[in-house]
Structure 1
Amino acid sequence: MATSNSQHEGHVVLFPFMSKGHTIPLLHVSGLFLARGLRVTIITTPANGPFIDQSLADTSAAAATVVDIPFPQNTVPGIPVGIESTDKLSSLDLFFPFTISTEHMQPDFERALQTLPRVSFLVSDSFFWWTVVSAAKFGFPRFVFYGFANFPMAVGKVVAENRLLEGPESDTKLITVTQFPWIKITKKDFHESFRDSSTDAAQHEAFEFNMRSVVATVSSFGMIVNSFYELEPVFTDYWNTERGPSSPAVTR
Structure 2
Amino acid sequence: MGSPSPGLHFILFPLMAPGHMIPMVDMAKILAQRGNTVTIFTTTVNANRFKPVIDRANHQNGFKIHVLELQLPLTEVGLPEGCENFDLLPSAALAVNLFAALMLLEQPAETMVRGLSLAPSCIISDNMFPWTTDVAQRLNIPRLVFYGPGCFPFVCTHVVASCSILDQIESDSEYFVLPGLPDQIEVTKPQASCWGRGKTKERIERFERAKEAQKGAFGIVVNSFMELEPKYVERFAMAEDKRVWCVGPVSLCNKSFEDIAERGNKAAKSELDCLKWLDSKEPRIGAEVPVPFGENDKFEVKVKSEHIKRALKRSMDDGEEGMMRRKLAREFGEMAKKAMEKGGSSHFNMTAMIEAVTKELANNSKSCHNIV
Match of 1:249 among 244, 257, 274: 244
The one-character-per-residue Cα deviations of 1:129-167 (angstroms, maximum 9, x if unpaired) are 111111111111111111111000011111221222121
> Within 1, Cα distance between the matches of 2:195 and 2:9?
37
Q: Deviations over 1:164-206 (max 9, x none)?
A: 2121432222222211251122211134793664xxxxx2212
Tell me, what secondary structure is at the counterpart of 2:167? coil
Larger Rg: 2
Is 1:103–1:130's contact at 8 Å kept on the other side of the alignment?
yes
Specify the code of the residue in structure 1 equivalent to 2:244.
Answer: A
Matched residue type, 1:243: E
The answer for the alignment partner of 2:167 in structure 1 is 166
> Cα RMSD (Å) of the superposition?
2.1
Distance 1:216 1:109 in 2: 17
**1:143 matched to 2:138:** no
Report sequence identity in percent.
29
How far apart in 2 are the matches of 1:183 and 1:62? 43
1:47 alignment counterpart: 45
Tell whether 2:208 aligns with 1:211.
Answer: yes
- Aligned-residue offset at 1:48: 1.7
- 1:98 Cα deviation (Å)? 0.8
**For residues 222 and 195 of structure 2, what CA distance do their matches in structure 1 show?**
23
* 1-structure distance, mates of 2:62, 2:77: 34
Q: Decide which moves more: 221-230 or 53-62.
A: 53-62
1:3-51: per-residue Cα shift (whole Å, max 9, x none)?
8xxx842111011111121111001111111111211111111222211
| Structure 2: distance between partners of 1:124 and 1:218 | 14
CA contact (8 A) 1:30 1:61 kept: no
Cα 1:248/1:125, change in 2 over 3 Å: same
Question: Who is 2:106 aligned against?
Answer: 106
In structure 1, distance between residues paired with 2:168 and 2:89 = 35
CA distance in 1, matches of 2:50, 2:205: 30
SS of 1:231 mapped into structure 2? coil
Partner secondary structure for residue 157 of structure 2? helix
* Pair 1:12–1:182, CA change in 2 (3 A): same
Residue in 2 aligned with 1:10? 8
**TM-score, scaled to structure 2:** 0.61
| Alignment-mate amino acid for residue 66 of structure 2 | T
What are the ranges of 5 or more consecutive residues in structure 1 without an aligned counterpart?
198-202
CA contact (8 A) 2:77 2:98 kept: yes
Q: In the alignment, which residue of structure 2 is the partner of 1:182?
A: 184
> Is the 1:193–1:206 contact (alpha carbons within 8 Å) kept by the matching residues of 2?
no
Higher strand proportion (structure 1 or 2): 1
Per-residue deviation at 1:107?
A: 1.0
* Paired residues of 2:74 and 2:98 also in contact (CA < 8 A): no
Q: Which amino acid aligns with 1:92?
A: A
Q: Is the 8 A contact 1:144 1:217 kept in 2?
A: yes
Stretches of structure 2 lacking an aligned partner (at least 5 in a row): 248-372
How far apart in 1 are the matches of 2:53 and 2:207? 29
Q: How far is 1:92 from its partner?
A: 0.8
Q: Which amino acid aligns with 1:132?
A: T
Between structures 1 and 2, the one with greater helix share: 2
Would you say how many aligned residue pairs link Structure 1 and Structure 2? 241
Distance 1:127 1:185, change over 3 A: same
Q: Match for 2:43: what amino acid?
A: T
